Amino acid sequence: MKRIKSSREGIAGRPSVTKPDTVLTGTSYKTSGKLIARVYDSGFEHSHDTYNGLSSASDGKIYYVLCSELMDIAGQMYSFDPKTDKIEHTGDLTEMSGEKDMKVIAQGKSHVNFYESNGKLYFSTHLGYYSIIDGMEMPGIPPEGYKPYRGGHLLVYDIKTKKGKSLAITPNGEGILTMAMDTQRGLIYGLTWPTGCLFRYDVNNKKMEDLGPFTGTGESRKGANYRVICRSIAIDPGDGTAYLTNAEGDIKRLRVGSDIVELVKGEDMRKDYFGQYDVSTAGSMAYNWRQVFWNADDNMFYGVHGNSGYLFRFDPSTPCLEVLERLTSIPSKRSGMFDYFSFGYLGFTPGPDGRTIYYLTGGPIYVDGERIAGKDAISRGAARGLENLHLVTYDIPTGTYIDHGEIFYPDGERPTYVNSIAAGDDGTIYTLARVSENGRTDLISIPDPFKKYH
């Protein structure tokens, strides 16, 4: 992959018209327009693009998975300790799944965040080895001597003993694309890929339940029944109800103890501001929400719509969904463009203060007045050109939006394919990004954006 210099240098030394950014609402001060990220080396030469797979834990460490797209090399789990500045390799996903030496397609990815309960981290695995069939990514066809992918695993990692193991495997042999955990009740919910089957796992009773297809044929084939699969399941900790969306924009819920997925009546994701979509066409998240979290201060969900980048608040008790702010970068706001990554960005999380939302998002880059454009994103989702990564924050109580500016590496290169985020206790922001010309992905950190105003 050929890297392009920053917009401040432009292409072949030509200057860019990108300007420093300013705060649009809430305050009047200007940002510096530039943040310098630190790059780490976890020692995994085969690491590839990672989606989610990154969280902070109660021990102060940052846990993450670096993915692999190779047939016989699994994704690798690591932890970073900000206090000692050291990275520790904590596990091989295939070995943690109990599949070492089985000669099966590797557990190449974790596509979900970590959920902590009683000193343990819960997460899941996904395949990273694909075959392109009819222009779409499908589970990889194994070569002679290897067996097909066995299915995604629900994994648990003990922070104290530093050991991980498998709890269960998906009932349909597919990877786990989406997962959330009701940590109070010990219930895990997930969606499989490519068909989009919904499942529930009871940690205490060790019971796996297959609840069947959730949305058309999922992403398993083109045609009228193709439906992009929701990437975020939201849990109301009060009553344990799980909420998720479909491409049509319906909000669905699954109550504790029920096997029936209900339609939330009176509210949906079909908002004019979010755009208009052919729900059977690949290449966007359609009306699905992209990432959602629960906010205990006001008992509401906060989420972002993928393509448009609009922040919304959802009150499940009413129900009522309120559009709050376009959370994209200022260059995107000014251009009127959708988010630069075709599915929208997953780097959306609450901060440790309980009031600040952090969002890593892209934007257009202009050189000599012309936008640097790329090929249209294909069905699996991709960036539509060189990404202009920005860190945006939103203060929930005051509604203050701040674009803290562009993010660069020390050498002037830009982080790309950023779809994860974790906020450290000290305000440092962590993500996983491509860090080398061959596309290798690794951990990077962004300094506390608020310290530059002090």
Q: Give per-residue pLDDT as tens, 353-380.
A: 999 999 999 988 877 877 776 544 444 5
For residues 299 and 354, is the Cβ–Cβ distance under 8 A?
no
Those residues with Cβ within 8 angstroms of residue 92's Cβ, 6 or more apart along the chain or in another chain: 74, 75, 76, 77, 100
Could you report the per-residue pLDDT of 180-232, keeping only the tens digit for each?
999 999 999 999 999 999 999 999 999 999 999 999 999 999 999 999 999 99
For 108, the token pair is: 């190449």
DSSP 309-335: -EEEEEETTTTEEEEEEE-S-HHHHHH
Look at residue 371 in the predicted model and tell me its pLDDT.
Answer: 77
Q: Is 95 left (phi over 0), alpha (psi -120 to 50) or beta?
A: alpha
Q: What are phi and psi of 210, to 5 degrees?
A: -90, 115
HSE-CB of 123 using CA atoms within 13 angstroms: 27
Q: How far is CA 6 from CA 18, 152, 362, 387, 388, in A?
A: 10, 39, 14, 10, 9
Helices (H), 298-404: 330-335
Distance CA 248, CA 270 (A): 8
Q: What is the Cα–Cα distance from 261 to 242, expressed in whole angstroms?
A: 9
- Give the pLDDT confidence score for residue 29 in this predicted structure: 34
Q: Over the chain, what is the mean pLDDT? A: 90
What span, in angstroms and rounded, lies between the C-alpha atoms of 277 and 270?
Answer: 10
C-alpha span between 420 and 344 (Å, rounded): 12
Tokens of 382: 């991709």
* Digit-coded pLDDT (tens) for 371-404: 776 544 444 556 666 789 999 999 999 999 999 9
End-to-end CA gap in the chain = 39
Q: What is the pLDDT of residue 381?
A: 59
Torsion angles phi and psi, residue 175, rounded to 5: -75, 165
Region of residue 343 (phi > 0: left; psi between -120 and 50: alpha; otherwise: beta): alpha
Which of 234, 423, 235 is closest to 347 using CA atoms? 423
- Three-class DSSP labels, 203-250: CCCCEEEEEEECCCCCCCCCCCCCCCCCCCCEECCCCCCEEEECCCCE
Concatenated DSSP letters of 249-300 = -EEEEE-TT---PEEEEEEES--GGG----TTSSSS-TT-EEEEEEETTTTE
Contacts of 446 (CB under 8 A, 6+ apart): 35, 37, 38, 391, 407, 428, 429, 430, 431
| pLDDT lower than 70: segments of the chain | 1-32, 373-385, 452-454
d(CA 338, CA 364): 10
**DSSP labels for 69-135?**
-SSS---EEEEEETTTTEEEEEEEHHHHTT-TTS-B----B--S--EEETTEEEEE-B---EEEETT
**For residue 400, which of 291, 330, 290, 324 has the smallest C-alpha distance?**
324
pLDDT over 70 for what percent of the chain? Answer: 89
State the pLDDT at residue 92: 98
Q: Are 393 and 358 in contact (CB under 8 A)?
A: yes
